Chain A
Amino acid sequence: ETGVTQSPTHLIKTRGQQVTLRCSSQSGHNTVSWYQQALGQGPQFIFQYYREEENGRGNFPPRFSGLQFPNYSSELNVNALELDDSALYLCASSFGAGGRQETQYFGPGTRLLVL
């Protein structure tokens, strides 16, 4: 067990709706990264939050947004859901300092189905 928790575990939404996914980072970590894993694919980087600021973003549209809170937990928000947003959403926590990120530890993921 990594100590990284995510909620909810499963979610069903319809096209056009909005969704918020949550992640609690491992104790001592100050960074949360979010990844999308489509069926049969490797995880794709969405963005990373370091000390409450966005610290890098992958090739995802602006309707994917996030927040990090003072306790380093994080939220991923997706607006105007599309069918292709159906995936496993993984968060990973790590410790970062001096422009360097240490090993990322993953949570169990939230499986989102968009109908």
Chain B
Amino acid sequence: GEDVEQSLFLSVREGDSSVINCTYTDSSSTYLYWYKQEPGAGLQLLTYIFSNMDMKQDQRLTVLLNKKDKHLSLRIADTQTGDSAIYFCAAAPGLGGSQGNLIFGKGTKLSVKP
């Protein structure tokens, strides 16, 4: 089945760019997601990318997808202290997410130092 891996921690200075990386195993996952979780809260959808795209940009967020290597990254430009949170990569296995479930990585804790 699908497996999603992420590095666990990332620390950056305010104003720098952050890059969070993720790898997945199931090439049938046609949708890949990034969610943000602040302490004690649920998951907030940040962005997603369809597998026929290489890149998607949304304001300060840029998602890059290397389908050959099954590697996904999230770049946050001009990182702010309010971006401090845990970021989860998730894959939707099956064609068009037809399996219905999401497979999550363990999350990357982003710490932004002023």
B33 at the interface (CB under 8 A from A): yes
Cβ contacts under 8 Å, A20 to chain B: none
Q: Would A55 and B100 count as touching, CB distance under 8 A?
A: yes
Q: Would A50 and B42 count as touching, CB distance under 8 A?
A: no
Q: Would A108 and B42 count as touching, CB distance under 8 A?
A: yes
Q: Which of B56-64, B67-75, B76-84, B90-98 contacts A (4 or more CB under 8 A)?
A: B90-98
Q: Quick one: given A42-B106, A100-B96, A106-B35, are A48 and B101 in contact (CB under 8 Å)?
A: yes
Interface Cβ pair total, 8 Å cutoff = 70
Q: Would B45 and A105 count as touching, CB distance under 8 A?
A: yes
A3 at the interface (CB under 8 A from B): no
Q: Would B100 and A48 count as touching, CB distance under 8 A?
A: yes
Closest CB of chain B to A21's CB: distance in Å? 13
Among A43, A44, A99, the one with the most B-chain Cβ atoms within 10 Å of its Cβ is A43
Cβ contacts under 8 Å, A50 to chain B: 100
* Majority DSSP secondary structure for residues of A touching B: strand
List which B24-40 residues lie within 8 A (CB) of chain A: 31, 33, 35, 40
Q: Would B33 and A56 count as touching, CB distance under 8 A?
A: no
Cβ contacts under 8 Å, A7 to chain B: none
Bound Cα distance A109, B38 (Å): 12
Cβ contacts under 8 Å, B101 to chain A: 33, 45, 48, 56, 58
Q: Given A42-B90, A104-B45, A106-B44, 8 other A-B contacts at CB below 8 A?
A: A33-B101, A41-B106, A43-B88, A48-B100, A48-B101, A50-B100, A90-B43, A106-B43
A-B contact pairs, 27 of them (CB 8 A): A2-B45, A6-B42, A33-B101, A33-B102, A35-B102, A40-B106, A42-B4, A42-B88, A42-B90, A42-B106, A43-B102, A44-B104, A45-B101, A45-B102, A48-B101, A55-B100, A56-B99, A58-B101, A90-B42, A100-B95, A101-B92, A102-B97, A103-B48, A106-B35, A106-B42, A106-B43, A111-B40
User: Considering the complex of A and B, which 4 residue pairs feature the smallest CB-CB distances, nearest first?
Assistant: A42-B104, A100-B96, A45-B101, A106-B43
